[in-house]
Structure 1
Amino acid sequence: MEHNNISPWIEVVDEAPVEMSARVRLARNLQHVPFPHVQADKEKLDPALSKIEGALSEYQKVPMEMLQFEDKALLVEKYLISPLFTKQGICSYVNDDESVSVMVNEEDHIRIQSMGAGIPIQELYQKAEKVDETLEDAVDYAFDEQYGYLTACPTNTGTGMRASVMLHLPALSLSGKIDRLAVNLGRFGFTLRGIYGEGSVPLGHIYQLSNQLTLGQTEEDIIQNLDELKSQVVEEELETRSRIQENHALEIKDSVHRAFGTLKHAYKMSLKEAAKCLSEVKLGIDLGIIDYEDFKFQKWVQLIQPAFLKMRLNITKRRYRSLEAAVDEERATLLRELSGGK
């Protein structure tokens, strides 16, 4: 696995107007072992570590203690590990195309996740479930007949499953409807968050829709509810786009072309500005305002993240006085290359 490369599963993503990617995550803990946040030490995990490694022998093992800070940041930007895991994780296991990964000692002892795009969420769950069954044959899970899988956070207790879908919602965001939508989704036990989940902010009008509760529901219930709500959000976004284009055609056309011009000609761009421009160009493509066959929104949003750009700087061995300024310049250079600028 090359940490500095885009995950292979993202390379083959077909661009859709609203829906980007989806993820299913399973939280599991070991019987008679303290949760990670109350561990006095990690020695009680030791007997299970070799069993986990044996069960996941076909996966690449990534020990956290062997990685530098920038390597860990790259894995976060690739969604293979969480920010919390960079601080207390022991190791992760990743499959060949990086669509499945397992974190050992995150918020829970084991976090299994399956990611993909253009794939039914049920299919992603089945991939995660297969890994789950393999691990359950190797170690003893903390499970209660009444409450289900026991987890460090009570909201995960039950199925231990969080299912999410990444959505590009520029029209709902720009029209000011996103807050009302978030409140309505909360009534159904779902939430809208930023691209890196809890505590993160939306970037480029990209939101993560996921379930909040798992207790008292089956995996099939969660997936069905998510699919239904996702379809409603997608429909509302598309309807809002149509109304905006009908009532504000000139303004939308102007903002799209300005964004495209910025991508092609800017020499310094912050992450926020770059994500905004990519989002507006993506909207323009979806509305038929501009024609751009090779535009890769999901891939490019990942490539403009700080750790990816720092890796580019390391590879080119470019000299600079300020790392922050160099990253902003490298981001603009990358986007000029990708968009056909000079």
Structure 2
Amino acid sequence: MNDAAEGNGFNPAEEGVVSWIRGDGPHAEIILSTRIRLARNLENYPFREKSGSEDRERARGEIVAAVRPGDAGFERVRSVRLGELSERELNLLLELHLVSRELVNGRTSAALVLGDEGRLSLLVNEEDHVRIQTLLPGFQVEEAWRMAEEMDRVLRGRLRFAFHHDFGFLTSCPTNTGTGLRASVLIHLPALVLTREISKVLQGISQIGLTFRGLYGEGSDVIGNYFQISNQTTLGKTEIELVQHLAKITQQVVEYEENARQVLARDALDEIEDKVWRAYGILSCARAVSFDEMMNLISAVRLGVSMKLLPPVRVFDLNRLLLLTQSAHLESRAGRGLSVREAEVERASLVREILGGGERGTNGGGR
């Protein structure tokens, strides 16, 4: 087997395994990450709904073997079979936004092939045989597309994908047929929520071919004023058109958010200062905090830092808090399973440590 052979894995709990938390991309204070996914299926295999375990194993083997060091963003190739991971390790991958819940649910024949810092990866045997995924910090739609397109071109030189002259790339779900492309940004919009303009904005984007979801994508709730905005259709437009449309509308949403922050600073500065300082004070002193409460408080702190109402906190540290305070990361840090109360105590301790500067300067960039 090549360097991507299963068993040449990685520790998903290691910081630095993903680059999206670094906070060093364009508009990083508002946009956490940009993702591109390309859905592809092998020509000579049944699609997942009609395939047996032997078909899925053979498909997995062909796809993993087609990836080589030096390909696109794969300077180093690491591959792991999800069926060999513990429940905690699978949850770590979910929290890192490297895999989907669907891939985890079908873990028996599923694999993750990971490039450097999670910027490029392959999700094998999810809804489709393979999904090429790029995940970058900040607002980098065109760069994420460039990387995905390059890897797609490499794989098409080694594998035969199911393609129809009239319909384009064929996928398990008809809504992905055509380009097979899903482009999305994870964006923080607290000022639009506070000024009650968010419904108008979300309704507007839904009328022009985009949709929104929560922090973990499809089926997840919006929490902490974080929204995933993505294209709704993949058929009838080219990949470039879809990518440019998302980039254009996202830029407009960023401008709406920035304008809303200016309105808050002009018309409700006392209330906003009180809100963000209360959030900062609670997080700096709390001895136990739930994830949902922390997300809402961190949203306020992130807003306060951006508006220069609070002591400077790096975007990198704010992003780390979103990641490291989730359940699987807390348990990995503690080295054991945690009860709900123990997790709340551990989470509060980690928040105090990071906000207090105890871990600053050890990794990453950002402010």
Q: 1:25 aligns with which of 34, 37, 59?
A: 37
1:88 paired residue number: 106
1:177 paired residue number: 197
CA displacement, residues 226-270 of structure 1 (integer Å, 9 cap, x when unaligned): 111001111111111111222111111011111111111001111
Distance, in Å, in 1 between the alignment partners of 2:20 and 2:130 is 24
CA displacement, residues 53-83 of structure 1 (integer Å, 9 cap, x when unaligned): 2221332111111101110010011111101
1:204 paired residue number: 224
Amino acid at match of 1:28: R
| 8 Å CA contact retained: 1:263, 1:341 | no
* TM-score, with length taken from structure 2: 0.87
Distance, in Å, in 1 between the alignment partners of 2:330 and 2:184 is 27
Q: 1:300 aligns with which of 307, 321, 340?
A: 321
Distance, in Å, in 1 between the alignment partners of 2:144 and 2:206 is 24
| 8 Å CA contact retained: 1:63, 1:92 | yes
1:4 paired residue number: 13
1:45 paired residue number: 56
Amino acid at match of 2:19: W
Give the secondary structure class of the aligned counterpart of 1:97: helix
2:257 paired residue number: 237
| 8 Å CA contact retained: 1:76, 1:83 | yes
Mapping 1:121-270, distance limit 5 Å: 121-270=141-290
Give the secondary structure class of the aligned counterpart of 2:208: coil
Amino acid at match of 1:51: E
* 1:16 matches 2:43: no
Give the secondary structure class of the aligned counterpart of 1:57: coil
Distance, in Å, in 2 between the alignment partners of 1:120 and 1:180 is 25
Shift of the alpha carbon at 1:24?
A: 0.6
Give the secondary structure class of the aligned counterpart of 1:327: helix
Distance, in Å, in 2 between the alignment partners of 1:2 and 1:158 is 35
Distance, in Å, in 2 between the alignment partners of 1:46 and 1:202 is 36
2:294 paired residue number: 274
Give the secondary structure class of the aligned counterpart of 1:285: helix
Shift of the alpha carbon at 1:5?
A: 2.2
Q: Identify if the C-alpha distance between structure 1 residues 49 and 85 changes in structure 2 by more than 3 Å, giving closer, same or farther.
A: closer
- State the identity as a percent: 35
* 1:113 matches 2:133: yes
1:65 paired residue number: 83
Distance, in Å, in 2 between the alignment partners of 1:16 and 1:98 is 18
Distance, in Å, in 1 between the alignment partners of 2:357 and 2:285 is 6
CA displacement, residues 179-206 of structure 1 (integer Å, 9 cap, x when unaligned): 2222211111101111111111122111
Shift of the alpha carbon at 1:171?
A: 0.9
Distance, in Å, in 2 between the alignment partners of 1:70 and 1:120 is 30
Amino acid at match of 1:94: L
Q: How many residues in Structure 1 have an aligned counterpart in Structure 2?
A: 336
2:3 paired residue number: none
Shift of the alpha carbon at 1:38?
A: 3.5
Shift of the alpha carbon at 1:293?
A: 4.0
Distance, in Å, in 1 between the alignment partners of 2:132 and 2:42 is 14
| 8 Å CA contact retained: 2:286, 2:348 | yes
**Aligned-residue CA RMSD (Å):** 1.8
CA displacement, residues 106-159 of structure 1 (integer Å, 9 cap, x when unaligned): 011101100112463111111112221222222221100100001111111110
Give the secondary structure class of the aligned counterpart of 2:128: coil
Give the secondary structure class of the aligned counterpart of 2:265: helix
| 8 Å CA contact retained: 1:30, 1:109 | yes
